[in-house]
A and B are shown apart, each in its own frame.
Chain A
Amino acid sequence: MNHLKPMTAPLAAVKSTAVSHVVWRKYLWSGIAALVIWWLVYRSLALFAAWFTYSTCGLAKGTHLGAAVEFFVYESPKVLLLLMLVVFGVGIVRSFFTPERTRRMLSGRRESTGNVLAALLGTVTPFCSCSAVPLFIGFVTTGIPLGVTFSFLVSAPMVNEVALVLLFGLFGWKVAGLYLGTGLLIAIISGWVIGRLHMEKHVEDWVYETKTGDSAEDVALNWPARLRLGLDAVKDIVGRVWLYVLLGIAVGAGIHGYVPENFMAAIMGKNAWWSVPLAVLLGVPMYSNAAGIIPIVQALLGKGAALGTVLAFMMSVIALSLPEAIILRKVLKPRLIATFFGVVALGILLVGYLFNFLL
């Protein structure tokens, strides 16, 4: 593949720029057209939901059933549309941040700035928990401090675009923003704390002895390829989560008028101080992606559970999971895993109390 004869190479390059120019315009115009259509559809959803519920289905205004149906018919396409747009955008942003590139940006950083940068990069670097172990080895063997590596490992799963879109769509930008901000803060601080504890000797010995090869070369992508990556992300992620999203909205619609408003208030309300630690503890053995947890969040919040308690529960489910602990056991000794979970859980706990206190 790299054995093109020297004479043919320049020729091929000329041809490909000419082609890419035409492709470029095609992509640009279809992109603009798609955005306009997206916007028009998005804008007309409320009207459509009202028309569908009260004219087509003939439900009476002001009834529980009418409100529930309208809620579902409005919210489901709205959240799915938002999800598609954001996942597409994030897919494109991620095409600029490969794990190799992130590693280069992080190596040689001092701890505090390194923690901040690692938490930020964790949000935009493509990450799958099944790659957590090779990523961990790849980071620490190239000299990235342990604490900085942990900032990345905490932020990558927790600050998640699907969770953000759902929180934004269902609860508004304030809740979404709080989630983003506190998620980053937990990642930064817990990584920093782990770094201060100097636990390098609790990493399995063979890890630091591992010889890592030269990282795979970065392939320079052109814009059509990036757009295709965005579309692939939409197909992959929306294809996996749409059912949970609909389920979540259905739960939301179902409780819209039926379950008494303060049903959860006594056990998960602001005044039940023990509910935050309980929510964190319950979250650890549960393992779910962000989309799967939203139906539960929707149900809890709708029925008077306090926001801090629910956010703590959600963060705990997404960021701390037993399967992840088992995977990480390959490279970390039990004490470091326990510290990692303990520090992150403590951070989540504080966020839970903070929200319950402030709001």
Chain B
Amino acid sequence: MKILILGTGCAKCNALMLATEKAAQELGLQYELEKVTDLRQIMAFGVMTTPALVLDGKVKVSGKVPSVEELKILLQPVKL
């Protein structure tokens, strides 16, 4: 899974990154995490409130830091 954290470097962006890493590790996911700080790239996702979480190219969270438990639900691999 490709995880992007969008944010211009505020305290909340860091909090989101830490929480996401924790959730992904607790789930034992294979993931690749990247921080996006360039405004133009952030805007390309149509996000107006940072921090935002993008999973495999889709914006899942914007403008807040969800709890680790909520993040786990978002990160949960899709079971078919």
Contact = CB atoms under 8 A, between A and B. Distances in A.
B33 interface: no
Given A1-B78, A131-B63, A213 B45 contact: yes
A325 interface: no
Interface string A92-119: 0000001110010000000000000000
Contacts, number: 72
Interface stretch (A54-62, A204-212, A248-256, A307-315): A204-212
Interface in B57-77: 59, 62-63, 74, 76
Contacts of A211: 40, 43-44
A3 interface: yes
A126 B49 contact: yes
Contacts of A213: 43-47
A6 interface: no
B71 to A, nearest CB: 13
Given A134-B50, A213-B43, A3 B78 contact: yes
Contact of A99 (B10, B43, B63): B63
A134 B80 contact: no
Contacts of B76: 1
B8 A130 contact: yes
Nearest to B78: A3
A134 B49 contact: yes
Main secondary structure of the interface of B (DSSP, over half): loop
B48 A100 contact: yes
B12 interface: yes
B43 to A, nearest CB: 5
A249 to B, nearest CB: 28
B16 interface: no
A210 B49 CA distance: 16
A100 B47 CA distance: 9
A135 B49 contact: yes
Which one of A98, A133, A138, A216 has the greatest number of beta carbons of chain B within 10 Å?
A216
Contacts of B3: none
A140 B41 CA distance: 17
A210 B48 CA distance: 13
A212 B43 contact: yes
Interface in B1-30: 8, 10, 12
A206 B40 CA distance: 9
Interface string A176-217: 000000000000000000000000000000100011111110
A137 interface: yes
Interface of B: 8, 10, 12, 39-40, 42-50, 52, 59, 62-63, 74, 76, 78, 80
